[in-house]
Amino acid sequence: MLIKILGTGCAKCQRLEQLAREVVAECALDATFEHVRDMDSIMAYPIMSTPALVVDEDVKCSGRIPSREEIAGWLRPA
């Protein structure tokens, strides 16, 4: 699983990455993280604001920090 955090590195972006990493650890998932800070790369995604969470190239949320439960629901295998 590839998890991308889209954002320039602000506190909200860092918090989203921290939460996602905690959920991955708690659920014992195998995931690779990438923090996308380049604006051209961020603009390639269909989002209007950051931070954004992308899982395997599927945008899960943008413009807010989701709850731990939301993140867990998106990351758990179907």
Distance CA 58, CA 5 (A): 12
Q: 61 catalytic, yes or no?
A: no
Alpha helices in the chain (DSSP H): 11-26, 39-42, 68-75
Q: 10 catalytic, yes or no?
A: yes
Per annotation, catalytic residue among 13, 24, 53, 71: 13
Per annotation, catalytic residue among 1, 2, 10, 11: 10
Q: Which residues are tagged catalytic?
A: 10, 13
